[in-house]
Chain A
Amino acid sequence: MSEPTQKQPPILEFRETVIAREPARGGRLEGINLRLAAGELAMIRVDRMGGCPPLAAAAEGLVPVVNGSVWFQEACWSRCGPAQSARMRGQIGRTFDRSGWVSNLSIVENVVLRLRHHTRRSTKEILSEAEQLAHQFGLPEVPKGRSSFVPAADLRRAQWVRAFLGEPSLLLLERPMLGVAATGLEPFIAAVKAARRRGAAVMWITSDERVWESDAVEARWRHVVEGHKLRPVTETHK
């Protein structure tokens, strides 16, 4: 069953990668070997108190790797120039573990920023899609105020809207359920499944047991961050 996906070109690939972590978190993260093709999902469990390692940043080529290489759509980040890297990042949707908002823009401006910069789609069309996603995720609308004036749970859902907007090729989800009620999990998983059916690859980093244990999240790969290593847990054939 896994043969066809193995032969597909990977969307995201970590090859024997070692990345540096923040000094407070000590040392490096080693043993990162991951290959995600279209439609595949990798679930990575991290310690709740330890926060997210810079895996998503490394997947976007934003942090230099100590060893190995990181590839996106068969292009190695370290060999791409600034313009090409920016174009590639425009195809990635991401939820950020920390704030994730540009404070001098409203939330709706933040949400549509990536697509307005990388595509020629009209703002009206982009907003319409954003509003649809907002309703799907339980928001009455995309918040119009600035991040300081929007409740944290709504901010997290607005991050989902931004990440899924424009049908990106790769979704990097850094603890997307942080601060969100359990009722939000079902529509979120539904959106992830829909994205996978469209051909997106997904890397989901979580410290949430209910997410890790959920059968609804059909992860192709499961890894755990233990100390300095990223350890594969199991390979599933879903």
Chain B
Amino acid sequence: MPEQSRGWVSIRTGCAALLDGTAIATVRLLRRITYPLGVLGSALLLALQPRVWTRPVRNVLARQVLFTGVEALFFSVRVSVAVGILIVVQAQLWLSQIGESEWMGNLLLNVLVREIGPLLANFVVVVRSGTAIATELAHMRLEGEVDVLDAQGLDPMIYLVMPRVIATAISVFCLAVVIVTVTFLSGYVVGELLGAVRGGPAVFFSGILSEVGVEELYFFLPKTLISGLLIGAICSVEGLSIRGAVTEIPQIAGRGAVRSLTIVFGVSAVLSLIIYGSVLFIDVF
């Protein structure tokens, strides 16, 4: 074969291999995204059916809300106090310096209620509960406990996954409310002690409350509920996907946490783009 032809064959072969590899990688990536979405969709559809909420399923939901939400309260409060010091005091300090204290409420709402509060709540849940969900379900899968449940007519999707997905969403939402509230309170208290806050509590909180509107819900609700649902679905899927040995469990837990955090950031960014983008669109037109 002439040298030139051999060259073209090599190029074509290389391109074909590259396309194959890209296609395979794309399919894998799409599967990693669509599979948890499919599980989430199934869980939500099941949750709408009263027949699935039997006593054992309700017990699982209650236990998961207790573990994921209630038992994370103290940790969330500690984190919120620190964030309150960091953000509220800084904001008050610098806005006072440039004489724009009237923007305090607006700034804190935008930063805390719309972004930081939901993000922190998602972090707390991923770190505390997401890894635990993945670990627990992986262990159950390896030990044959999922088969035992299935054999007794307890569909793992109904008994294991759905309550965890719902409980995670509820917990993220509630923890975000607590985080935002405690952040404001701690920020005010520390700011008052440092002399960074002026005008007293009435001025401080009324300035914030006066900026509260329905728009806050547009951010707060989806960033807590949607992210929470996805965390529950991703960690459940990761846990139940284990096929090998018990040594895989830490990897499963880590992978669940990383993927959940990636999704949390992604959802937050996309939602912000959509909502701010639509606001800009309305303003422009």
Partner-B contacts on A (CB < 8 A): 56-57, 60, 62, 82-83, 85-92, 94, 96, 98-104, 113-114, 116-118, 123
Complex CA gap A19/B136 in Å reads: 30
Q: Which residues of A contact B56 (CB under 8 A)?
A: 113, 116-117
Name, among A86, A91, A92, A101, the residue most crowded by chain B CB atoms within 10 Å (CB to CB): A86
Q: Which residues of A contact B155 (CB under 8 A)?
A: 82-83, 86
Given contacts A117-B55, A117-B57, contact A103 B154 (CB under 8 A): no
Q: Which residues of A contact B147 (CB under 8 A)?
A: 57, 62
Within the complex, what minimum Cβ distance (angstroms) separates B141 from chain A?
12
Q: Which residues of A contact B145 (CB under 8 A)?
A: 99, 101-103
User: Taking CB as reference atom, which chain B residue is nearest A112?
Assistant: B56
The answer on a CB contact under 8 Å between A99 and B153 is no
Q: A57-B147, A89-B150, A103-B143 are in contact. List 17 more A-B contacts (CB 8 A).
A: A56-B151, A82-B155, A86-B158, A90-B153, A98-B144, A99-B144, A100-B144, A102-B140, A102-B148, A102-B149, A103-B139, A103-B145, A104-B140, A114-B152, A116-B55, A117-B153, A118-B153
Counting CB contacts under 8 A, is B54 at the interface? yes
Partner-A contacts on B (CB < 8 A): 54-57, 136, 139-140, 143-145, 147-155, 157-159
Q: Which residues of A contact B150 (CB under 8 A)?
A: 62, 89
Name, among A82, A87, A102, the residue most crowded by chain B CB atoms within 10 Å (CB to CB): A102
Q: Which of A94, A100, A113 contacts B154 (CB 8 A)?
A: A113
The answer on a CB contact under 8 Å between A62 and B151 is yes
The answer on a CB contact under 8 Å between B154 and A114 is yes
Complex CA gap A118/B143 in Å reads: 24
Q: Which residues of A contact B152 (CB under 8 A)?
A: 89-90, 94, 113-114, 117
The answer on a CB contact under 8 Å between B55 and A94 is no
User: Taking CB as reference atom, which chain B residue is nearest A114?
Assistant: B152
Given contacts A96-B148, A116-B55, contact A88 B153 (CB under 8 A): yes
Within the complex, what minimum Cβ distance (angstroms) separates A1 from chain B?
34
Complex CA gap A143/B120 in Å reads: 42
Within the complex, what minimum Cβ distance (angstroms) separates B233 from chain A?
18
Complex CA gap A123/B55 in Å reads: 10
User: Taking CB as reference atom, which chain A residue is nearest B159?
Assistant: A117
Q: Which residues of B contact A101 (CB under 8 A)?
A: 145, 148
Complex CA gap A98/B143 in Å reads: 9
